[in-house]
A and B are shown apart, each in its own frame.
Chain A
Amino acid sequence: MRRRANPAWLFVAPALAAIALFLFVPVFASLLLSFTDFDIYAVAALRNLRFVGFANYQTLLAEPLFWQALRNTLYFVAVGGPLSVAASLAAALLVNARLARCRPLFRTAFFLPVVTTLVAIAVVWRYLYHPRIGLINQLLAGFGVAPIDWLGDPHWAMPAILLMSIWKNFGFNMIIFVAGLQAIPERLYEAASLDGAGPWRQFRYVTLPMLAPTALFVAVMTMIGGFQLFAEPYVMTQGGPSNHTLSVVLLMFQEGFRYWNMGYAAAIAFVLFAILLAGTALQLKLRPLGGGPT
């Protein structure tokens, strides 16, 4: 062992080299980039590049469009996240119910949207939301609801994207919840039942506390995913109507890759990252006490 280099390094070297080169270096470079005025002229010739300190961040924080993108994204995360987790939990409870037959069939049905291609699905929902020929308005018309211009109305566009996103993703967290439910020892329910607890109290005092660690994991992952909202508005609304579905990542994409304001776009990415870290830390801090098994 001493004489030659440890062969273990040969095993980890390809992966570490790739991760260092294509993740660490770019992330660090991105931080540097955010302190420069890298734009279309710098793309052409690097000597046009200047160090500008915190100017990009100052511009960003004074820019109403950024605040609007941030508000939209926070709405998506804060409203969509809990709804999505709740939908996942409800689906998990349904497919995991003791009386349920054909469990694998229902589980697969609920899961199917997860594996589908987001862009294709966003195209499909764009038509489902069509004010005149869309299926959703046609179904609602059956209940006497007047046609709604889902993606064209500033009030409805974000909720419409949110609904689609929940439909697309709830199956993923459902699987994690089902695993969490199955890990709860049966004897806890038996004990609760002996103590005279009905289904609701069993759910409240056994299931929910035991699921807390799973729920925390799911909530954090859902939040991280939510902050990265991009393809849905890109395909369905292009950020409209009047920027009501513009997300932070979509704004970064437009600034960086459409207008080549790369220094500015890097600053957007880092502000998003900072918010994401703060959000994760906050959720870990708010962790309900008395978690179940690890």
Chain B
Amino acid sequence: MRLARSLLLHGALVAAATLTLLPLAWMVAASLVPAGGSSDLLANLRSGSLTLAHYDALFTRLDLARTLANSAGLAATVTAISVFVNALAGYAFAKLRFAGRDRLFRGLVATLVIPGQLGMLPLFLLLKQLGLVNTYAGVVIPGVASVFGIFLVRQYALSIPQSLLDAARIDGAGELRIFTSIVLPLLRPILVTLAIFTFLGTWNDFLWPLVVLTDDRLYTLPVALANLLGEHVQDVELMMAGAVLTVAPVVVLFAALQRYYMQGIVTSGLRE
């Protein structure tokens, strides 16, 4: 009875995992077979005629190395800025006293229901006035601070012992000094979590870079890939190589820092 249930359970687990991974496996396999080979993928894989030609084409003919660098640079920039800005604010909302603090925080949290698209049109016009359309700064700007990030840091910072901060104050440490030498190290786990969220979010973002960037030399990978589809829709294998190039960095990053990522979802989802 127990064995039968175990078999059934593991059968279901393996079947579900296979179905889940199949599209990703197909993407990788199709990117490695010669042009036109994806329609009979198994035969091509069996005959062992694998090639890196499509990746070669991406980097030589299509200049995707630049796009890859754009994506990495933008995601890193947004992550660095927003983690710092959100850490400052999140800590202050948790541990520093100022007039109207809790009311302000509740107000911020209420804005989480506002979808990002709502302010997108005026924001674009604002950036246009500032001459920031079609620049990296225009892509970075909406990501400088996020209510979600402040929320995440605050929830974590609440657990910092007040006595620790008071002791430092008695020793004459300034607030900024306390933040950099005591608070930041204590916040490290949640900042790593926030950094992964932000990096992945920026890397994967599509609508905003699509709106702001018009020059294909500035494109990020998702925008470039969607654009590439227009000209190369018949080149299945080439497109799959592009998809692998776009997906692989974030999958590797996630695999390396998985623990922090999962914890972050639970923190944001369950604490009120």
A joins B in a complex: yes
Q: Mark B residues whose CB is within 8 Å of A.
A: 2, 5-6, 9-10, 12-13, 16-17, 20-24, 26-27, 30, 38-39, 41, 85-86, 88-89, 91-93, 96-99, 101, 104, 108, 111, 113-126, 141-142, 144-147, 150, 174-176, 179, 200, 203-204, 206-207, 211, 221-223, 225-226, 229, 236, 239-240, 242-244, 246-247, 250-251, 254-255, 258, 261-262, 265-266, 269-270, 272
CB-based A-B contact count at 8 angstroms: 258
* Pair A127/B239 contact, Cβ less than 8 Å: yes
* Pair B38/A22 contact, Cβ less than 8 Å: no
Closest to B8 in A: A99
* Pair B115/A266 contact, Cβ less than 8 Å: no
B266 — which chain A residues lie within 8 A by C-beta? Answer: 175-176, 179
Q: Does A58 contact B (CB under 8 A)?
A: no
Once bound together, how far apart are the Cα atoms of A243 and B39, in whole Å?
29
Min distance, Cβ B25 to any Cβ of chain A, angstroms: 10
Closest to B41 in A: A135
Give residues of chain A (96-155) contacting chain B, Cβ–Cβ below 8 Å.
97, 99-101, 106, 108-113, 115-121, 123-128, 132-133, 135
Once bound together, how far apart are the Cα atoms of A267 and B188, in whole Å?
42
* Pair A231/B121 contact, Cβ less than 8 Å: no
* Pair A224/B115 contact, Cβ less than 8 Å: yes
The one of A26, A99, A111, A128 that contacts B122, using a Cβ cutoff of 8 Å = A26
Closest to A97 in B: B9
* Pair A115/B16 contact, Cβ less than 8 Å: no
The one of A15, A99, A257 that contacts B88, using a Cβ cutoff of 8 Å = A15
B86 — which chain A residues lie within 8 A by C-beta? Answer: 15
* Pair A11/B91 contact, Cβ less than 8 Å: yes
Q: Does A259 contact B (CB under 8 A)?
A: no
* Pair A8/B9 contact, Cβ less than 8 Å: no
* Pair B85/A108 contact, Cβ less than 8 Å: no
The one of A116, A133, A171, A272 that contacts B251, using a Cβ cutoff of 8 Å = A116
* Pair B250/A249 contact, Cβ less than 8 Å: no
Q: Does A35 contact B (CB under 8 A)?
A: no
* Pair A23/B115 contact, Cβ less than 8 Å: no
The one of B22, B24, B121, B258 that contacts A108, using a Cβ cutoff of 8 Å = B258
Closest to A293 in B: B270
Closest to B253 in A: A115
The one of A95, A128, A214 that contacts B26, using a Cβ cutoff of 8 Å = A128
The one of A12, A26, A43 that contacts B92, using a Cβ cutoff of 8 Å = A12
* Pair B21/A112 contact, Cβ less than 8 Å: yes
Once bound together, how far apart are the Cα atoms of A91 and B6, in whole Å?
16
Q: Mark A residues whose CB is within 8 Å of B.
A: 6-12, 14-16, 18-19, 22-27, 29-30, 33, 43, 91, 94-95, 97, 99-101, 106, 108-113, 115-121, 123-128, 132-133, 135, 167, 171-172, 175-176, 179-180, 183, 214, 217-218, 224, 227-228, 230-231, 234-235, 249, 252-253, 256-257, 262, 265-266, 269-270, 272-273, 276-277, 280, 294
The one of B174, B221, B265 that contacts A176, using a Cβ cutoff of 8 Å = B265
A7 — which chain B residues lie within 8 A by C-beta? Answer: 96, 174-176
* Pair A30/B243 contact, Cβ less than 8 Å: no
* Pair A29/B251 contact, Cβ less than 8 Å: no
* Pair B117/A19 contact, Cβ less than 8 Å: no
* Pair A106/B119 contact, Cβ less than 8 Å: no
The listed residue with most B CB atoms (<10 A of its CB), out of A6, A123, A135, A176, is A123
A231 — which chain B residues lie within 8 A by C-beta? Answer: 206-207, 222
* Pair A9/B98 contact, Cβ less than 8 Å: yes
* Pair B26/A123 contact, Cβ less than 8 Å: no
